[in-house]
Structure 1
Amino acid sequence: MHRFFSASLVLFFILWVLSSPANTFPGFKGFLSMSSTIKEELKIETQPASTNSTDWGKHGWFYVSVRIGFFLWIALLNLITISSTWARVIDVMDNESGSRLFGFIGAGATFGQLFGSLFATGMAWLGPYLLLFASLLMELAAQSSKGINKDIANPSEELIPLGKTEVDQQDVINEVDVSDRQESLPTAKSSAIDSSKPQFWALLDGFWLIWSSNYLLCVSLFLWLSAMTSSFFYFQKVTVIASTVTTATGRRRLFAQINSFIAVFILAGQLTLTGRILTVAGVTIALCAAPFTAFLNLIAIAVWPTYLAIAVSETLRKVVTYVVTRPGRELLFTVVTQDEKYKAKVCIDVLVQRFGDATAAGMYKLLHTKLDGKTTHISLYALPVCVLWVFIGFHLGRRQAQLAKSQNLSFS
């Protein structure tokens, strides 16, 4: 999968260059004159929006299609590669090892984000050639994925030996009801993927697994509320900063400064706090931390709608999310079957998250129109979403703890 996306970046590099006005591959000699070109572009960006709002109309359909397609493709690439990687990691770890190690694994992603942004900032003069470096890094990720093997974690692939009878299983997990037992105990039918199935029906398996499991439906609802709240914060951030910072260059610089500042705190937290918090406080506290922080941030923005409040709120929200709640969310999938880890998880991480983003966009547009763009009032309308998010997180945390306990009993 990583190699496929690596090749796609090379393809987009070719399409990008071919769709450029010159319609030729720039030589490395052209790099010497790129700095002046970038300066000219920055001058254009600092002008009022009315002077360059029709720039896209000056280009043909090929130019516009490649850039829109690239934007959408990168969003899909980020979601699928990260989701599939976590699915593989979860498949070779149990609840206990995940609590200890997910923070360090997440720190790798944070360090990559920090390195990538700094590299892109320093090497911006390379232009589309940055896609080739990204393709190379994706291939290195594909090589690294070969080392994620089952022999480093629980040697047993089944949660319960196939020879056990239903009576034996009931003795082990008598505290779990019948419907949830089907979610936590994989059988011979769900332990392997039928390769004879057509790809279309295999894709539908993910939807069916989610629909037939109350636990996965709650996980989907939790992620939907999370994505909707995150997107809502994004629109709030853009609205507030756009009203205080007038130039595109200034806004981009401020966004970059906020993201870099946040990445440093997230990296430090993942290396030092995540494992301890998940081990001591538990998954329930981890899941409820992000919605509770979002609730407080919405109140802060309603009272003090400035870019400083946005910066502080965004820092707290993302640090809590990636240091505490995101690793706790991945622990939710350590107690499900192998099919659910690979099929249902990807559907939840990709489709449910995109649906949450779309819901937040529609909700924000409606509120922004009805309330005449008053940021204070808009923030207050999102508070009930955070309250529901807290309740779902609390319920999921307790269910995950019960399923993990029954899983450990079955192994013993």
Structure 2
Amino acid sequence: MEPAKDTAGRFDHLRGALRAYPPLIWSFLYFFFLLTGYYVMRPVRDAVAASNDPAMVFPPAMVEWFAARGVDLGEFQIQALFTGTFLSMLLLQPVYGALVSRFPRRVFLPVVYLVFIACLLGFYVAFDVDMPGRGGAYFIWVAVFNLFAVSVFWSFMADIYTDPEARRLYGFIAAGGTVGGLLGPEITSRLVSQLGVGNMLLVSAGFLALCLVCILRLGPWARQRERDRGNLADDEAMGGRVLEGLRRIAADPLLRALAFLMFFGVGVGTLLYNEQNAIVREMTAGNPAAAEQATAFFSTIDKWINWVVLVVQVFLTRTLLIRFGVAPLLMVPALAILAGFCVLFASPLPMLVAVVQVLTRASEFSLSKPARETIYTRVDREARYKAKAAIDTVVYRGGDLAFAWLHKLMAVFGSSGVFAGGILVAGAFTASAWRVVKEQAKLPADRH
């Protein structure tokens, strides 16, 4: 009967938290709406990456320019998309830094989401009229959206909750996103063949509009938390230099360790993603309904990932964070991913690639990410919004770019060559996780 008692106690705690922490409800809904909207659009992005039609992905002039020089752009599709994404991040990071430095939170958070909604409406038109090159622009935009929107969400959560509260509640808040991650692919897989790709973007825009409502409702708790920390100018602009986040990463050992953890974590994910993409491109080659087929396949993968994440978040994340802190949540996924790459090196079967992909992303969302986000509750506001944003965007997409091209080189030696290199990357990821565990232990229990 002990497991039943433990489960009952866990849900009693959740009911008590809902009564004691009204912002928990809005935080849960915010992440739910955000990831539902994202997972409606994500399978469309993945289908673009796996497309065998370069004219849909890239502008005709770009395709012709490379063809005139003997380069088939379709052979470098993923690498070109990741390069464009990284360059976009470099251009947008100063813009984000300027927003954070010059405008209070009540202004720049809604502005960020209004811009995202406007972009989705623009892409709806582009897909509706079959605009050439729409796929590449959309792929890059979704990558930018994912990192900025999710990074801002967790920065906002760190404004609202203390470190002890984060350890108790972040698992439940993250579960809101996981439920959204289950609903989003389900909506897409059921409706994309009936409504078409373009109309799915309108569905995403509707969920982002609901995020705006949650931001406005959570504002008072964020301001109160800043006052509790002794920051009387709680909702004023932070000021400082636009590129302050990158300077802080270079100077702070903890932020630097978090940046390395992000870089190598992206590395293992990118190597797996590219192998999976090659499988899907081969699977859908010559199929007139390739876009819909690929979108449905990626929706299925996303659903499996989010079911695993939901179970772990509900039954493990909170307990591990409260009893042991961040160490097991960072180290266990790293060691599991290292083991997964060793298995793939020995037997690089397509089904095993999918299984390790589920393991990698599920452990990131259910364990590693909540652990990293609790660390940010113990640092200052500039680190939460500026350094964290730089890690979650520039460092993340820099890793994407580096490992996308590295994959192209390793693929010459076949899947076994890719996964042999992946073992080294997973080893560096594990070492970075250990470094973060050591550095965060030097922080006070709650700096504020």
Residue 294 in 1 paired to residue 337 in 2? yes
Residue 89 in 1 paired to residue 89 in 2? no
CA distance in 2, matches of 1:65, 1:238: 19
Larger-Rg structure: 1
CA distance in 2, matches of 1:301, 1:254: 21
State TM-score, norm by structure 2. Answer: 0.67
CA distance in 2, matches of 1:250, 1:155: 47
Of the three residues 74, 78, 87, the one matched with 2:142 is 74
1:75-105 superposed Cα distances (whole Å, 9 cap, x missing partner)? 2111111110111001211221111111111
CA distance in 2, matches of 1:404, 1:139: 38
Tell me: CA distance 1:303–1:241, structure 2 relative to 1, closer, same or farther (3 Å): farther
Q: Aligned residue for 1:309?
A: 352
- Alpha-carbon contact 2:267-2:400 (below 8 Å) kept: yes
1:21-69 superposed Cα distances (whole Å, 9 cap, x missing partner)? xxxxxxxxxxxxxxxxxxxxxxxxxxxxxxxxxxxxxxxxxx2233322
Please state whether the residue corresponding to 1:376 is helix, strand or coil.
helix
Residue 225 in 1 paired to residue 264 in 2? yes
Of the three residues 117, 126, 131, the one matched with 2:185 is 117
CA distance in 2, matches of 1:321, 1:305: 22
- Alpha-carbon contact 2:271-2:418 (below 8 Å) kept: no
1:183-241 superposed Cα distances (whole Å, 9 cap, x missing partner)? xxxxx99996455x7xxx42x12222222322211111111111111111112333456
Which of 248-257 and 109-118 deviates more? 248-257
Q: Give the letter for the 1:403 counterpart.
A: L
Please state whether the residue corresponding to 1:380 is helix, strand or coil.
helix
CA distance in 2, matches of 1:335, 1:209: 15
* % identity of equivalent residues: 22
1:104-132 superposed Cα distances (whole Å, 9 cap, x missing partner)? 11111121122111112222122222222
Please state whether the residue corresponding to 2:444 is helix, strand or coil.
helix
Residue 343 in 1 paired to residue 386 in 2? yes
Q: Aligned residue for 2:122?
A: 11
Q: Aligned residue for 1:361?
A: 404
CA distance in 2, matches of 1:140, 1:266: 23
- Alpha-carbon contact 1:303-1:376 (below 8 Å) kept: yes
Runs of 5+ consecutive residues of structure 2 not aligned to the other structure: 1-111
Residue 258 in 1 paired to residue 301 in 2? yes
Q: Give the letter for the 2:404 counterpart.
A: A
Residue 376 in 1 paired to residue 445 in 2? no
Matches within 5 A, 1:259-274: 259-274=302-317
- Alpha-carbon contact 1:94-1:153 (below 8 Å) kept: no
Residue 400 in 1 paired to residue 440 in 2? yes
Which of 327-336 and 80-89 deviates more? 327-336
Runs of 5+ consecutive residues of structure 1 not aligned to the other structure: 21-62, 163-187
Q: Aligned residue for 1:129?
A: 199
Of the three residues 148, 168, 177, the one matched with 2:218 is 148
Deviation at 1:71, TM superposition (A): 2.1
- Alpha-carbon contact 1:220-1:352 (below 8 Å) kept: yes
Which of 239-248 and 307-316 deviates more? 239-248
* Bigger proportion of residues as helix: 2
CA distance in 2, matches of 1:389, 1:404: 25
CA distance in 1, matches of 2:378, 2:235: 13
State TM-score, norm by structure 1. Answer: 0.73
- Alpha-carbon contact 2:185-2:302 (below 8 Å) kept: no
Please state whether the residue corresponding to 1:264 is helix, strand or coil.
helix
CA distance in 1, matches of 2:282, 2:238: 55
Please state whether the residue corresponding to 1:382 is helix, strand or coil.
helix
CA distance in 2, matches of 1:254, 1:349: 27
Q: Give the letter for the 2:442 counterpart.
A: Q
Residue 64 in 1 paired to residue 132 in 2? yes
Please state whether the residue corresponding to 1:132 is helix, strand or coil.
helix
Q: How many residue pairs align between the two structures?
A: 331
1:271-291 superposed Cα distances (whole Å, 9 cap, x missing partner)? 222111211232011111222
Q: Aligned residue for 1:138?
A: 208
- Alpha-carbon contact 1:224-1:353 (below 8 Å) kept: yes
